[in-house]
A and B are shown apart, each in its own frame.
Chain A
Amino acid sequence: MSTIAEKINTGEKLLPSLEKEQDLLSGSEAIRVIRRKGVDSFSKQGLPARKSEEYKYSPVSLLFKPELALRAPIQSPVLKTRDIDSYRIPQLDAYQITLVNGFFSPELSALQLEDGMISVSSLSTIPAPLVPLFTKHFGNYASIHADPFTALNTAVFADVLFISIPEKKLLDKPIQILNIIHADSPVLISPRILIHVGKGASVQIIENYIYTGKSSQVVSNALTEIVVEEGSRALFYKIQDHCTDLNLISTTQVLQKTGSHFDTHTVTLSGKWIRNNLNIVPDGEHCETHLNGLFILNGAQHTDNHTLVDHRKPNCESNQLYRGILDDKSTGVFNGKIYVRPDAQKTNAYQSSKNMLLSDEASMNTKPQLEIYADDVKCSHGSSTGQIDEDALFYLRARGLSIDSARALLMLAFARDVVNTIRIDALRTEVERLIEKRLTK
């Protein structure tokens, strides 16, 4: 019997195989319909071809060369609370949620929720009153036609983590999601998350990507949809550390309603091959959006940040700030797309991407892409790629700093543009510590 993975590779129709595997089609009728559409769409698109403009600098063929199983064991029996404690952030009091291979694990989570607080559930445990909310939003924003990996996730996701923050709820402490991938053999894991931030609510979410397996042929194709309702505020931090050897496609699709505020950080410190798709649609007036990114790469690491801000309504502001430090033979990509549609007058959209290359063999591809169809807007972008400032390096050495500490200090200063915008103190301290550790060899 040919595996589904082979069919993915060869672009054969997925549906017949999927139908045979009942567990892959679990969920309500509504879920089955959504899944079926994902299967169809992926079958039509297949994996991005070499010529694909969107994946030009991040070819995926090698990732899918090995035969990938479509599921890892439902939950890994070997993981205990103490195994994952080290991934918690020191001094951070947070609601703890743990996903293992895409499955919500209540045992490894620490929530202690009271009535009227947030709701956290998996596909099979959504509280009845919240089912309509889930059905209304799930799969509605990330377009399966726009990206084959969105279609693929929709076709084969195992579980859904559904977080709902009720209207006007101002959450007292952050939510930390440990998105753990644990597999020792080649497998495709498809974590899926839906976060709904109710009107006038406020939430801070930290998502840590963690890989604890041994194989370097594991692919995680994660998809998160976030709905930020009218007048609400969401801070979303994606931390990609502890994921050496992982291949990761991480797509975040955000819908912002009128007067909402969305602030996000993508920090990449480890990972073998990472593609971050960050698509934000401010679909209401007076929205504010901040996209911050920092990646520090070495060895043969590859990280690709694709951002899209689709301004559809007037009077919105978006701001992108990306910084990258690349050493050895690492490669990086930043592709920042800004659409300003005809109705989106008075849009303010900014983008800045700066990169530092530490070796002759490292490379960075940067592409700002501004498409503006309204005439009364302020948009600008700036990008640069350069080396460490030799004058500054000499200045510091002339004061007695070793070349290594001087370099680390300068790189840290460069990274600080982004780190300083992290609003959770304990997280900022932790990121700074991780960067320092990473930069002082």
Chain B
Amino acid sequence: MHMLSIKNLRAGIADKEILKGFNLEVKPGEVHAIMGPNGSGKSTLANVLAGRSDYSVTDGEVKFNGKDLLELSPEDRAREGLFLAFQYPVEIPGVSNINFLKTALAEIRQYRGLAPMEAKDFLKLIKEKQALVELQGTLANRSVNEGFSGGEKKRNEIFQMAVLEPTLSILDETDSGLDIDALRIVANGVNKLRSKDRSFVVITHYQRLLDYIVPDFVHVMFDGKIVKSGTKELALELEEKGYDWIRKEQGEKIEA
């Protein structure tokens, strides 16, 4: 059975349609990479899946573990096991990273009918996951992303992902703005979380990240839908030929 099944998804912002019949199926344990040039709709896809209300869905369906994802509030999507690592993580002064994660975890557990986590177990979990992404204790205790460098923000996203242990993680250009060390740390964090029950959708502009997070499938997105799918070799081909190759191919298709 598919964990995520997106069929003919059409969505946009205001009057502008950005996703134009998007299809994708993800099985448990799979890692899918979605690549594509700027403006192809990659981030829109991530935001629509996470439930940002700025976007409106006009057609299609999204099933997540058999449930109609589009019917759920953003918090219920998270509680069902969906996680979005933001391309631009928000700075929230005055809200402590740890405290908000504690509340998030408590509400997720309550939704799933699990008993609240003991304080000492929570602290243990935090310590363990901090080590995973090599996030300093001081950063974890600070206000959410406030004054963090670009790399620290991205590492904080992966740290939160590690704590919340989602079944489906969508990484929206998590590699953008990362130096090679940060990239390695982030990828390492993701790899350690890979398992037969957990899936990832890795949205990226560059092939570089995929050297570290090796995908099972690579999809190329163009003008709001997937135009080419393959295995990790497709990413290398893209790296070599550039997106113009896809553009040309698509252009020819349209002309023909």
Chains A and B are bound partners: yes
Chain B residues 109-163 with CB under 8 Å of chain A are 111, 143-144, 160
Please tell me if the beta carbons of B74 and A398 are within 8 angstroms of each other in the complex.
Answer: yes
Contacts of A391 in B (CB 8 A): 90
List which A406-422 residues lie within 8 A (CB) of chain B. 406, 409-410, 412-414, 416-417
Given A396-B100, A400-B79, A409–B90 Cβ distance below 8 Å? no
A402 at interface by CB-CB < 8 Å: yes
CB of A400 within 8 A of CB of B84, answer no
Q: Mark A412-438, 1 if CB is under 8 A from B, else 0.
A: 111011000000000000000000000
A402 CA / B111 CA spacing, docked (Å): 11
Among A396, A398, A405: residue with most chain B CB under 10 A:
A398
Q: Which of A392, A398, A410 contacts B51 (CB 8 A)?
A: A398
In the complex, identify which listed stretch (B91-99, B191-199, B241-249) lies at the interface while the others stay far away.
B91-99
Q: A396-B100, A402-B75 are in contact. Are A414 and B92 (CB under 8 A)?
A: no
Q: A394-B52, A394-B74 are in contact. Are A399 and B104 (CB under 8 A)?
A: yes
Does B101 interact with chain A (Cβ within 8 Å)? yes
Contact indicator B92/A395 (Cβ below 8 Å): yes
With A405-B103, A409-B95 known as contacts, the answer to whether A397 contacts B90 (CB < 8 A) is: no
Q: B145: nearest residue on chain A (CB-CB)?
A: A395
Q: Using CB atoms, name the residue of chain B closest to A399.
A: B104
Judged by a CB distance under 8 angstroms, whether B78 is at the interface is yes
Report the Cα distance A400→B72, complex, angstroms. Answer: 12
A110 interface contact, C-beta 8 A: no
Question: Closest CB of chain A to B207's CB: distance in Å?
Answer: 27
Contact in complex: B78, A409 (CB < 8 Å) = no
The reply to whether A397 and B92 contact each other, CB–CB distance below 8 Å, is: no
Taken residue by residue from 65 to 90, chain B's Cβ proximity to chain A (1 for < 8 Å, 0 otherwise) reads as 00000000111011100011010011
Number of interface residues of A (CB under 8 A): 22
Q: Number of contact residues on B: which range applies?
A: 20 to 34
Residues of chain B within 8 A of A414, CB atoms compared = 94
State whether B74 touches A409 (Cβ < 8 A): no
Interface centre among A394, A395, A417 (most CB of B within 10 A): A395
Q: Contacts A405-B103, A409-B95, A417-B94; is A397 near B89 (CB within 8 Å)?
A: no
Are B90 and A401 in contact (CB-based, < 8 A)? no
Nearest CB in chain B: distance from A359 CB, A = 18
Q: Is the CB of A398 within 8 A of B100?
A: no
Asked if B108 is an interface residue, CB under 8 A from chain A, the answer is yes
**B164, CB-defined interface residue at 8 Å:** yes
The distance in angstroms between the C-alpha atoms of A400 and B93, with both chains bound, is 19
Question: Known contacts A401-B100, A403-B73, A413-B95: does B89 contact A395 (CB below 8 Å)?
Answer: yes
Q: Looking at the assembled complex, report how far the CB atom of A7 sits from the nearest CB atom of chain B, in whole angstroms.
A: 50
- Residues of B within 8 Å of A396, CB to CB, are 92, 95, 100, 104
**Contact: A400 with B95, CB < 8 Å?**
no
Do B90 and A399 touch across chains, with their CB atoms under 8 A apart?
Answer: no
What separation, in Å, do the CA atoms of A406 and B78 have in the docked complex? 14
**Could you tell me the distance between the alpha carbons of A401 and B79 in the complex, rounded to whole angstroms?**
9
For A415, the closest partner residue in chain B by CB is: B94
Asked whether A399 lies within 8 Å of B100 as measured between CB atoms, the reply is yes
Give the complex CA separation of A392 and B77 in angstroms. Answer: 17
For A413, the chain B residues whose CB sits under 8 A away are 92-95, 143
Q: Is the CB of A395 within 8 A of B86?
A: yes
A409-B100 in contact (CB<8A): yes
* A405 partner residues in chain B, CB cutoff 8 A: 103, 107
Tell me the bound Cα distance from A417 to B93 in angstroms: 10
Most buried by B among A402, A405, A417: A402
Which of the residues A392, A397, A409, A417 comes within 8 Å of B75, measured between beta carbons? A397
Instruction: Indicate if B34 sits at the interface (CB-CB under 8 A).
Output: no
What are the residues of chain A within 8 A of B53 when measuring CB–CB? 394
The reply to whether the CB of B35 lies closer than 8 angstroms to some CB of chain A is: no
Beta-carbon contact of A397 and B95 below 8 Å = no
- Shortest distance between the CB of A436 and any CB in chain B (Å): 12
Q: Which single residue of chain B is at the shortest CB-CB distance from A416?
A: B94
Say yes or no: is B4 at the interface (Cβ < 8 Å to chain A). Answer: no
Residues of chain B with a CB closer than 8 A to A399's CB:
78, 100-101, 104, 160, 164
Q: Mark A133-175, 1 if CB is under 8 A from B, else 0.
A: 0000000000000000000000000000000000000000000
CB pair B164 A400 closer than 8 Å: yes
Is B103 within 8 A of A401, CB to CB? yes
In the complex, B50 has a CB within 8 A of chain A: yes
Q: Hey, which chain B residues are within 8 Å of A400, CB to CB?
A: 75, 78-79, 104-105, 107-108, 111, 164
Across-interface contacts of B50 in A (CB, < 8 A): 394, 398
Contacts of B104 in A (CB 8 A): 396, 399-401
Q: CA A276 – CA B90 in complex, angstroms?
A: 36
Contact in complex: B107, A402 (CB < 8 Å):
yes
Distance in angstroms from A398 CB to nearest chain B CB is 5
Among A362-381, those with CB < 8 Å from B are none
| Bound form: Cα–Cα A405–B52 in Å | 18
Q: Given that A399-B164, A400-B108, A402-B75 are known contacts, is A410 also in contact with B103, CB under 8 Å in the complex?
A: no
B163 to chain A: closest residue by CB: A399
Partner of A397, one of B74, B111, B160, B164: B74
Contact A412:B94 (CB < 8 A) given known A401-B104, A403-B75:
yes
Task: Report Cα–Cα, A403/B144, bound state, in Å.
Answer: 17
A416 contacts across to B, CB distance below 8 A:
94
Residues of A within 8 A of B105 (CB): 400
Once the chains are docked, how many angstroms separate the CA of A410 from the CA of B78? 19
The smallest beta-carbon distance between B109 and chain A, in angstroms, is: 9
- For the complex of A and B, 7 pairs with smallest distance between CB atoms: A413-B94, A400-B78, A397-B74, A400-B104, A395-B90, A400-B108, A399-B104
Give 22 pairs: A residue, B residue, CB < 8 Å, sorted on A. A389-B90, A392-B95, A396-B92, A396-B95, A397-B51, A397-B73, A398-B50, A398-B74, A398-B77, A398-B83, A398-B84, A399-B164, A401-B75, A401-B104, A402-B75, A403-B75, A405-B107, A409-B100, A413-B92, A413-B93, A413-B95, A417-B94
A sample of 20 more A-B contacts (CB under 8 A), given A398-B77, A402-B75, is A389-B90, A391-B90, A392-B90, A392-B95, A394-B52, A394-B74, A395-B86, A395-B90, A396-B92, A396-B95, A396-B104, A397-B73, A397-B78, A398-B84, A399-B104, A400-B111, A403-B73, A403-B75, A409-B100, A414-B94
